[in-house]
Structure 1
């Protein structure tokens, strides 16, 4: 394949954010080339969350990538929160008239990959040694190596959608960037298992031994989590030990419905909140995990990436259609306003549902009172529901 030497927008990263941006730009007649460090198979092998907000669904519909989501995704009109041995349902439809769809991020990536292939868009996988050049000029470019050959890609703009460890954020000078971060003193141990879900909706459990979550990918595949110590090792957690601990943290009804099976994937993820400002530096724009990380408690990671892409695609389309830089100049502030609201919600959910090591009796009482207040107040429930299903763009 002859690689292009110029494009309008160079997108770094072929995860959901980069692929979605590529499709939105393609629909508007804007040329984009995507560069991805890994192979397509590696990208599809990543296990990620799958709670999809209404706004994200709308963007996937806009690019023609929602047919399988609507056919196979699970519509959830609420969640359940468990504490004190009892479960409390939060009815999103009743409270805010909206819902979410459970559909694996891997499947969204697959759908976007297929759409990009169908439209003839260029995605260069296994692009190594990517370097961004002259991003503060009007003629930025990207250099990389692919199959041992050196290449240069000239462009008008660069979209950094390459995650927290990618090259894009590192290309912004330290004296320009401000970082806000909170690291939580625990992680999530998660397993994937081919057994039916414990409940039709997600169960978030607060327990003195630690947080637990019963989630799912389909009617026959469950994703289960327990809070664990940061220094825990996956190999120290047999399936039997995992299920024993999970059952200690769930209510009796959930335990009775839990079908135990051999894990097909098991991993530990540390939890942190992270935001890098600004999200624009010259002709370089950050989107998704390249700019921010949130704990998975609020189900916001994928959805925040989608909202970034929404704002960025509109700004770029405005530039090419109307020769206006208004959207480009406002991108960082506009995206960050929504990012910080999601960061707050994810922090709040994490603080309310997890057991914090060395927490005092006072702090434990406050946490329990927060939960009691939540389930007893329609206003508090509506606030949670509004944030969980996704704030408007």
Structure 2
């Protein structure tokens, strides 16, 4: 087989890259280890920055997004039993949208199949070769047949546990990482949302987040230990903890209960590799970086990577040379590190750190008070939350 761009991974990053390349007349083949059903049913993040909504809309993927998505113009920070609204739209003129990552994936897969372009699921034994050459190769097994795919470029969009980053020789990448001393216990419940906007709560018992997937599906999280046993959390215990952490000074909680459909523990970590490129292999999304979910940046960062990479590839195939491809890593990393900073800051602001002394506790509350009472501080939070302007090199 021969193509221009070989894409490993059919998550949002790989699928969006293929979509943008198709619109630019550039051929690609997508290889995915999992089944289509698995990929479409993976429950992931559900908050899209304004820029992500804009790119999906501009490229013909916005119909269902705007029909079913929930636009939000603000968020609430809750501490000391009081809620404080941050007016995202009033401060920045921009919004965010609640629309599940799996729904974005479904839309992208449908568009790819409608284009009749190669999208191979359940691919096995994927390996990368000749990354330092002008014609890298991908070998794989699909449908029982061994295949070699010759490419000009390979895009590694296969997530944190994928094979692409591991294909880069030892010592080439510099790794930056931090593991946080807590995790999130998350639930999906058949219940109305607690509010029409997200509520981020800092409580002495630990952080809590009330969000949603739709007007009838609530998505809630509570801070827990990284080694937490989900089986130890009955439905009653989960609801009691959410009510306690979300309650106001009069003991009233906005949480609405319903049947819990899913439970799971999400680890909290920060991870970045530099550079995001080796030879003709370009890493994007979770293959290159992970952020704690507090700032809602994971999928949005992947989309930002892909916009930069797609524009660089279009310039390359239009005969404008390698300059933008050579600048890809540096350009993408500027945004990645700003998102890491914001995600680290939100995480540090809202979570309980075991062993923190009373001074640190008071400073944390003072920081929250400052953010909610200062127009400048509120604007800083808002412009990062809705998404910083894209840097394209």
- TM-score tier, shorter chain, comes to over 0.9
Q: Secondary structure at the residue paired with 2:164?
A: helix
Question: Residues 199 and 254 of structure 1 are in contact (CA less than 8 Å); yes or no, is this contact kept in structure 2?
Answer: no
Shift of the alpha carbon at 1:254? 9.1
**C-alpha distance in 2 between matches for 1:17 and 1:238:** 36
1:282 aligns to 2:282 (yes or no): no
1:159 aligns to 2:170 (yes or no): no
Q: How many residues align?
A: 389
- Listed one character per residue, the Cα deviations across residues 262-287 of structure 1 (whole Å, up to 9, x for unaligned) are 21111001100000110010000000
Q: Secondary structure at the residue paired with 2:148?
A: strand
Within a 5 Å distance, the mapping from 1:117-132 to structure 2 comes to: 117-132=113-128
Question: Residues 295 and 347 of structure 1 are in contact (CA less than 8 Å); yes or no, is this contact kept in structure 2?
Answer: yes
Shift of the alpha carbon at 1:22? 0.4
Which of 300, 304, 316 does residue 303 from structure 1 map onto? Answer: 300
- Listed one character per residue, the Cα deviations across residues 76-125 of structure 1 (whole Å, up to 9, x for unaligned) are 00100000000000001111111111111110000000000111111111
1:268 aligns to 2:286 (yes or no): no
- Listed one character per residue, the Cα deviations across residues 172-210 of structure 1 (whole Å, up to 9, x for unaligned) are 122110000010000000000111101000000000100
**CA 1:194/1:255 → structure 2, altered by over 3 Å: closer, same or farther?**
farther
**Aligned position for 2:341:** 344
**C-alpha distance in 1 between matches for 2:190 and 2:113:** 30
**C-alpha distance in 2 between matches for 1:366 and 1:206:** 13
**Aligned position for 2:331:** 334
Question: Residues 188 and 261 of structure 2 are in contact (CA less than 8 Å); yes or no, is this contact kept in structure 1?
Answer: yes
**C-alpha distance in 2 between matches for 1:75 and 1:345:** 22
Q: Secondary structure at the residue paired with 2:2?
A: coil
Shift of the alpha carbon at 1:257? 3.6
**Aligned position for 2:107:** 111
**TM-score normalized by the length of structure 1:** 0.97
**C-alpha distance in 2 between matches for 1:372 and 1:322:** 53
**C-alpha distance in 2 between matches for 1:240 and 1:215:** 19
Question: Residues 7 and 28 of structure 2 are in contact (CA less than 8 Å); yes or no, is this contact kept in structure 1?
Answer: yes
Q: Secondary structure at the residue paired with 2:138?
A: strand
Which of 133, 142, 145 does residue 141 from structure 2 map onto? Answer: 145
**Aligned position for 2:383:** 386
1:31 aligns to 2:27 (yes or no): yes
Which of 314, 317, 320 does residue 317 from structure 1 map onto? Answer: 314
- Listed one character per residue, the Cα deviations across residues 315-341 of structure 1 (whole Å, up to 9, x for unaligned) are 000000134111100000000000000
Greater mean alpha carbon deviation, residues 317-326 or residues 112-121? 317-326
**Aligned position for 1:179:** 175
**C-alpha distance in 1 between matches for 2:255 and 2:246:** 10
- Listed one character per residue, the Cα deviations across residues 233-289 of structure 1 (whole Å, up to 9, x for unaligned) are 111111111111111101238954422112111100110000011001000000000
Compute the RMSD of aligned alpha carbons. 1.0
**C-alpha distance in 1 between matches for 2:230 and 2:194:** 23
Structure 1 residue runs of 4+, over 4 Å off?
A: 253-256
1:217 aligns to 2:203 (yes or no): no
Unaligned regions of 5+ residues in structure 2, if any?
A: none
Greater mean alpha carbon deviation, residues 332-341 or residues 315-324? 315-324
Which of 49, 53, 65 does residue 49 from structure 2 map onto? Answer: 53
1:194 aligns to 2:190 (yes or no): yes
1:366 aligns to 2:363 (yes or no): yes
Shift of the alpha carbon at 1:62? 2.8
**C-alpha distance in 2 between matches for 1:257 and 1:269:** 24
Within a 5 Å distance, the mapping from 1:89-108 to structure 2 comes to: 89-108=85-104
Q: Secondary structure at the residue paired with 1:272?
A: strand
**TM-score normalized by the length of structure 2:** 0.97
